[in-house]
Amino acid sequence: MNYKKIITSILLVSDGPVEHSYFCDNFEISKEELFVYFSEINNNLIESDFGFKIKYNDKNSDFSTIDDVTKELIDFKPPSILRGLSTPALETLSIVAYEQPVTKLKVSEIRGVESESSLKTLESRGLIEKSGVLDVPGSPHQYSTTQLFLEKLDINSISELPVLGDYFSNVHEEE
């Protein structure tokens, strides 16, 4: 079986990055073998001067453009997801990322100011989403980061965010 053909065609038509388990389970190849195929395909693409490669990590893989053509792609790039985001919005994003799932009230407490508009902006950008409600009177919404946020940071899960230390998370419990 020509795994290179299969891998590249699946990555071409897939609706998002493909998890390694899909290839391993359906085509009975190990993760190590899969990485060898990825590497071989990327070498072939580089040798043939193609402008894209397979970008892969421990969890999934997808086609991505290469660094050399970044300038030439400027007309094709979608607007940056950060366009127009203010410093308070970035501050709110970091709080949601590290404290999730978190309510609007808790975000506002940490920042010391009302944070509804920042949360709405981040939600409209697809960086955070309502992930549930807290089981307290009023049932406030809880916010978490989205898959898009993880992809933009090129990480697989929030556990891969840099560790802040327990100190910051415990400030409000001490109150």
> Is residue 166 close enough to count as binding other proteins by CB under 8 A?
no
- Residue 127 CB, shortest distance to other proteins, in Å, is 9
> Is residue 105 close enough to count as binding other proteins by CB under 8 A?
no
> Is residue 102 close enough to count as binding other proteins by CB under 8 A?
no
- Residue 157 CB, shortest distance to other proteins, in Å, is 15
> Is residue 46 close enough to count as binding other proteins by CB under 8 A?
no
1 Cβ partners below 8 Å, 6+ apart? 27
Task: Please choose, out of 2-10, 25-33, 35-43, 61-69, the segment that lies near other proteins by the rule CB under 8 A.
Answer: 61-69
> Is residue 104 close enough to count as binding other proteins by CB under 8 A?
no
User: Per residue, what are the HEC states of the chain?
Assistant: CCHHHHHHHHHHHCCCCEEHHHHHHHHCCCHHHHHHHHHHHHHHHHHCCCCEEEEECCCEEEEEECHHHCCCCCCCCCCCCCCCCCHHHHHHHHHHHHHCCEEHHHHHHHHCCCCHHHHHHHHHCCCEEEEEECCCCCCCEEEEECHHHHHHHCCCCHHHCCCCCHHHHCHHHHC
> Is residue 146 close enough to count as binding other proteins by CB under 8 A?
yes
> Is residue 33 close enough to count as binding other proteins by CB under 8 A?
no
Count of residues engaged in binding other proteins, rule: CB under 8 A: 57
> Is residue 173 close enough to count as binding other proteins by CB under 8 A?
no
> Is residue 168 close enough to count as binding other proteins by CB under 8 A?
yes
> Is residue 123 close enough to count as binding other proteins by CB under 8 A?
yes
